[in-house]
Structure 1
Amino acid sequence: MTTNTGYIYAAATVDTKGMELFYVSECIARAGVNVLTVDLSTQPVSGPSVADFPPELVADFHPQGRDAVFCDDRGKAIDAMALAFKIFLSKRQDLIGVIGLGGSGGTALITPAMQALPVGVPKVMVSTMASGEVSGYVGASDISMVYSVTDMAGLNRISRKVLSNAAHQIAGAVFFETSSEEEEKPALGLTMFGVTTPCIQAVSEGLEEDYDCLVFHATGSGGRAMEKLTESGMLSGLLDLTTTEVCDLLFDGVLACDQTRFDAVAQHKIPCVISCGALDMVNFGHPSTIPAKYAGRLFYHHNAQVTLMRTTPEENVVVAKWIADKLNRCAGHVSFLIPEGGFSALDAPDQPFWSPEADRAFITTLEAHLQQTNRRKIIRLPYNINNPKFAQAAVQQFRQLTEKEF
């Protein structure tokens, strides 16, 4: 438990959600935590504002001023206020948490600012949209989405309960904040998939005495979360051994990264050991959802809702060129470890995705396009990625890179 002297910022469009906003702020205040209200209405208020921060003040943070927000186009106004609010929150030195209330427009307006805040800052979004697909609202951040159940059009027996629960949730997150120890181990980011789990477990065990190993599931959002922490300066190194998200990006998979993959390590120059974990596959959902153009391909049915497609030599050439182009921009120490014995548990002798030809296409293409230097190199290893000796080599290589940094 800690004593906080800052404020939870409670935000909503007061012209449509004012009653709910002030109910939430009262609940937070009664819980013993300081709170300030922010009006994100996309029209200026007439007379004194009932919120601590009126919409005009927030709108002034837009690079083009309040006129960019207060326009006749509702969509443009929401986008402009979202940017203004993002900048506004970034300037709040007394911010200890954020809670937002909104429908579709309000959720789209508020969550970009939440996503820009560091991981660990409490963020709660009460939304009518929270029962559906929320990845666009959450991104790679730690936003807690709370479904409003009823529409937010006044207070009733349901909305009072949901809103008070949300208010107490963020008040509790602030009130019971976990303090960081002064002598924490440096944190590392590791990427893992089910088919590379033995490797990452062994690597973590080999480094956990000296490092806090943070494992990210390579599901698109997992890679983005790891890179968000890298951008925030919270990671001292990466063992990005499972890069399967790139296959999904390039070949219509459902667990895709975006075009910024690997940019964080290039910008922040932290030591990084990379590999081709699960580059032998593209991830799809139920077989009925697979694009028709992939008919006749080699598939592995992981479960009722997950279908894996084996990458071809031609596709692996594309993947290798994409990764090489990204890594050629890295000025820090980067080692790319190639497991010649297979890229996953399925890519091994007597396993369904074993294809030395496809793997060789990736390896030779990467070697042809990655510009090797004294800081950037490729290391071939005669093991499957899940062989304990591969994990040992990854640990050893990372320790060598960290020694070069100092």
Structure 2
Amino acid sequence: MTTASDKTILVVGTYDTKDDELSYLSGRIRAQGGGVLSMDVSVLGDPKAPTDISKHQVAAAGGSTIQAAIDSGDENVAMQIMARGAAMLARQLHTEGRIDGVIVLGGTMGTDLALDLCAALPLGVPKYVVSTVSFSAMLPPERIAADIQMILWAGGLYGLNSVCKSSLSQAAGAVLGAARAVEPPKRDRPLIGMTSFGKTILHYMVHLKPALEARGFEVAVFHATGMGGRAFESLAAEGAFACVMDFATQEIVNHHMGSGISAGADRMTNAGRRGIPQIVAPACYDLVDLIGWQPVPPRLAGRPTHDHNRLLTSTILTPDERREIAGVYAEKLATATGPSAFILPRAGCNEWDRPDGPLHDAEGLAAFCCAMEQAMPANTTLHSLDCHINDPGFCQKVLEIFDDWVARGIVIA
């Protein structure tokens, strides 16, 4: 049986202003039998007692000094120095096997640093951020690590109290428990990253996942509603995939149209830039997902909508907007440095846009297909199909391309 003492948690924060809170958190981890390695990311002040990793070590790892950070006279510049150093040291500590998880405390400054630190650690390393701004819209999707965990730090702005202790004690148990329980990715089979939505609107993963697994591959399906696409892009940027099947690309539309449900500006680019073989399709290209409990933006008012639930509402694009989106897709495809294929199902790209569906628009579909065919970049092979994306013909074409790539050694089994 694994004992708690086998697990050491890196506890990170500004020990000059949050020494009491960080010490309380560390004490709760130790009370459960865990180990603690402390890292101070302060700039101006000093902790009550020395930490395992001092602020001077952090600044040096960030290519600077504490004095230089102070002399900058800019708290943003200073914290970015500390963020670079903290991320570098955390990665080094994990590589050396000295830490099993990390937890960072902070407000906006500490959370800004925490995002860099967590992004520097691989999938499967428990990463907890206890923040006064957890889940806030201030946090840009492109900076969210694929498996980051956040806990809202209620009553945590200044000093200890019974309210913030409730958050901190839960956080201590969460990060130590995660370090004990985590099953990191095995990497014993090549991994395929696929994007999709639920089976009510897209069906292809139901057939493709077992078919690809039978070929010796592991398949991870990402829910492309903002954060799922972000996790997909994060792993693609790390080179985690042997091949990607990026079929639910609606997050690009959301971002382009200003929706809050975004996976970031780099959506549908990281696999291509890494040279990872990619098969792309335009599932739900015609929809803009909106936050369901907010008013529909004026520019999108008066259009047909579908209320998926109280969190999510979808509306459709005009034919001109669909032509515009075809150009956006083409620009992203053009950045690919590896094999790239685009499958265009000319009969429709989600269940709601079938002829009897609530969001069907034959003119809009035709406009998009024509624009997509005209805009397709030279580095991407276009496969135009006379079927719907939920028809068997789509999956057959995916497997045909994939099997050819495997046979040619483009995708390594």
TM-score (norm 2): 0.88
**Structure 1 range deviating more: 136-145 or 99-108:** 136-145
Whether the aligned pair in 2 keeps the contact of 1:203 and 1:392 (CA below 8 Å) is no
Q: How far is the alpha carbon of 1:323 from its aligned partner?
A: 1.3
**1:12 equivalenced with 2:35 (yes/no):** no
Q: Cα 1:357–1:64, aligned 2, differ >3 Å: closer, same or farther?
A: farther
Shift of 1:144: 1.6
Are residues 63 and 141 of structure 1, via their aligned partners in 2, closer, same or farther at CA, if it must alter by over 3 Å?
Answer: same
Gaps of at least 5 residues in structure 2 are none
The aligned counterpart of 1:56 is: 56
Q: Which amino acid aligns with 1:37?
A: S
- Shift, 1:340, TM fit: 1.1
Counterpart contact for 2:278–2:339, Cα < 8 Å: yes
Q: Is 2:265 the counterpart of 1:259?
A: yes
CA shift, 1:161, in A, is: 4.2
The 3 A distance-change label for structure 1 pair 238 and 83 is: same
In the superposition, relative to structure 1, how do residues 342 and 69 fare at CA in structure 2: closer, same or farther (>3 Å)? same
Which of 224, 235, 241 is the aligned partner of 1:235? 241
**Is the contact made by 2:123 and 2:185 (CA closer than 8 Å) also made in structure 1?**
no
- Which amino acid in 1 is paired with 2:206? Q
1:36 maps to 37
Confirm or deny: 8 A CA contact 2:105 2:130 kept in the other structure: yes
How far apart are residue 2 of structure 1 and its match? 5.6
Residues in 2 aligned to 1:397 and 1:196: alpha-carbon distance in whole angstroms: 24
Name the CA shift for 1:17/1:247 in 2 (closer, same or farther; >3 Å).
same
- C-alpha deviations, 1:43-69, integer Å up to 9, x for none? 1539x9521111121112223443442
- 1:271 maps to a residue whose letter is P
Q: What's the RMSD between the two structures over aligned residues? A: 2.7
Matched residues, percent identical? Answer: 30
1:305: how far off? 4.1
Number of aligned positions between the proteins: 402
180 and 73 in structure 1: CA distance in 2 versus 1, 3 angstrom threshold: closer
Alpha-carbon distance in structure 1 between the residues aligned to 2:298 and 2:244: 37
Match of 1:79 in 2: 80
Residue identity in the other structure for 2:331: D
Q: Does 1:168 align with 2:173?
A: yes
TM-superposed deviation, 1:313? 1.8
Is structure 2 residue 193 aligned with structure 1 residue 192? no
Deviation digits for residues 8-64 of structure 1 (CA, Å, limit 9, x no counterpart): 210111111112212322332343333210111121539x95211111211122234
Report the secondary structure of 1:121's partner residue: coil
Which residue, out of 296, 299, 314, partners 1:293?
A: 299
Whichever residue aligns with residue 38 of structure 2, its letter is: T
Matched residue, 2:346: 340
Aligned to 2:207: 202
Answer yes or no: is 1:111 the counterpart of 2:122.
no
Distance 2:396 2:51 in 1: 58
What is the CA distance between 1:337 and its match in structure 2? Answer: 0.7
What is the CA-CA distance between 1:112 and the residue it aligns to? 2.3
**1:278 Cα deviation from its structure 2 partner:** 0.2
Q: Distance in 2 between matches of 1:328 and 1:156?
A: 54
Structure 1 CA distance, aligned partners of 2:160 and 2:233? 40
